[in-house]
Amino acid sequence: MRIHHYFKFSFFVCGILLSSPQPSGAKSWKGAEVFTVQSFRYGAFEARIRSAKGGGVITPFYLWKDGSDLPGALWQEQGFEIFGRDGSFHSQINTPGSPWIEHAVGHRPSTAAYSRYNTYRMEWTPDSICFYFNARLIRKDTDRVEFAKLLDPTRAHPAQLRISAWAGDDAWSGAFDSSAMPTDVYVNWVQTYAYTPGAGPNGSSFTPLWRDEFDSLDHQRWGSANWSLDHAVSDYSSENVKVFSGALDLALTSTANLGTFRPVPGDDTLRPPLSTAFSKDTLLPPATDPLEPNNGVRPKDSTQDSRPKVLGLVAQPGDGFVDLAWVTSSASFYKIYRSLDGKNFQLLCTVSHPRLHDESVGNGKVYSYRVTRVLADQESEPSVVVDAAPRGTVPSPVTGIVAKVDDQEVDLTWVAATGALSYTILRGVDNKAPTVLTVVSEGSYKDEAVANGATYTYSIVASNTWGDSPVSQAVNVVPKATRPTAP
């Protein structure tokens, strides 16, 4: 996460003055943040979130050790940063540096994160830090040296769970779009788990602690922020926090609209996958500001020498490939190093331009990359390390749905979707929102739990190891009794 926490003193980082917080009211735009009164050391943390939309808008869901920003403190942070500019997000881990080192990996859902609810989950143990998107593992870090601050039980500190809505106006956050205001973060529920190795349900390592369905705002569990932020066009106000309609709403508004909340949208309960449609043409261009590359990664040491490191390294995985890009700098050529364990890096290739399309990878594996620049026969120190996990393609959408009605039954058939392993059938009754009816492995299903005269709407989602297809076109039918044969 960008530096925008609770600066209690003024100090310099990379030549930028970070000042102490001011009371809420200092800025024209008002965001919101809630944080747990309880702190956690290890566990699992999950939330169903519909993030906020708008250029420059950020929706964080993260664990942060209170006081990490204080002079001399060791930074400790992990979580998700969801971007309102395009609906993509970062998984990130921040470790001690000057003042921190951000290990960010970019992810892009098949459907923009702000257009529906998604389930975000972090698992933090002494062995690993894992990130899940809609119940699918998207990142796992186990380096006990790089992430010692979080993995070593003697160094890891308890951290508070936080959810926010705020806005920036730079290359990292995207340009602030005031016309998109007001905008809201909606949280359907939050679930926390204690780390209990082998003692959880079904032999798992996580035991449920508490689940908040947000029927009301529990002030014994949650606090709300009410202060101004550096590096943001907004500050936090507790007046932009509200629980209603079974959800937590964190609003981002103008001062004039403080405390104004839009209706809570419904949750379709589906779990769209990450997109695998990354290519050399769609990769976001790297930023040109060396202090703020577009993946939010700062160099470990801001001191400039005659062989500065490559900055702004970004890795975007696809189906059987990984695309790399970084900030252009003076170089005769660049060396790309790759590792399968995050430790033992081997030279992959050299290139003369700040971009690489790596097709020598396998789906389902995590690859680590770092880049150096070579100028006048001198090689720079390595860049920060970025990880990427190529994934296979999700199934094609289901087509050719045929629904035949009979007395209190509907027979469904459809054309098999390419790559599908299972099919989720959604059903709505009399124009009500569809819900999951069943999951089948074949291209047909007989629905005998219907009533004659009611209108039923069916649609289907195909799934495989890599995710879910878009929802098919819907078909509507009305079961009716079979007319008796005349004597």
Class of domain 276-393: mainly beta
Could you tell me the residue ranges of all domains in the chain? 11-257, 276-393, 399-477
60 vs 173 pLDDT, higher one? 60
CA torsion, ordered 2, 388, 154, 33, to nearest 10 deg: 30
d(CA 118, CA 395): 19
- Average pLDDT value for residue range 409-416: 95
Query: Rounded distance, CA 151 to CA 126, Å?
Result: 4
What confidence category does residue 432 fall into, taking pLDDT thresholds of 50, 70 and 90?
Answer: confident
pLDDT of amino acid 447: 95
Read off the pLDDT of residues 149-159 as tens digits, 9 standing for 90 and up: 999 988 888 99
CATH number, span 399-477? 2.60.40.10
**pLDDT band, residue 330 (cuts 50/70/90):** confident
Question: What mean pLDDT comes out for the span 81-109?
Answer: 88
Percent of the chain surpassing pLDDT 90: 52
Token pair, residue 79, equals 């979580």
Of 2 and 85, the one with more pLDDT: 85
- CA 153 vs CA 46, 127, 149, 411: distances in Å: 22, 10, 8, 57
Q: How far apart are CA 213 and CA 247, in angstroms?
A: 7
Contacts of 203 (CB under 8 A, 6+ apart): none
Which helix (H) or strand (E) segment holds residue 151: the answer is helix 148-151
**Sequence letter at residue 308:** P
pLDDT of amino acid 159:
92
Helices (H) and strands (E) in the chain, counts: 1, 34
Same fold, 11-257 and 399-477: no
Contact yes or no for 194/128 (Cβ under 8 A): no
Cβ atoms of 5 and 232 closer than 8 Å: no
Say if residues 100 and 106 touch (Cβ distance below 8 Å): no
Per DSSP, 409 falls in state E
Tell me which architecture the domain covering 11-257 has in CATH. Answer: Sandwich (2.60)
Q: Residue 68 — left, alpha, or beta (φ > 0 → left; ψ -120 to 50 → alpha)?
A: alpha
379 versus 20: the higher-pLDDT residue is 379
Digit-coded pLDDT (tens) for 101-133: 888 888 988 889 999 999 999 999 999 999 999
pLDDT tens column, 277-300? 222 223 333 333 222 233 333 333
Residue 66 has pLDDT above 90, yes or no: no
Please spell the DSSP secondary structure of 200-244, one letter per residue: SGGG-SEEEEEEE--SS--TTTEEE--B--TT-SEEE-GGGEEEE
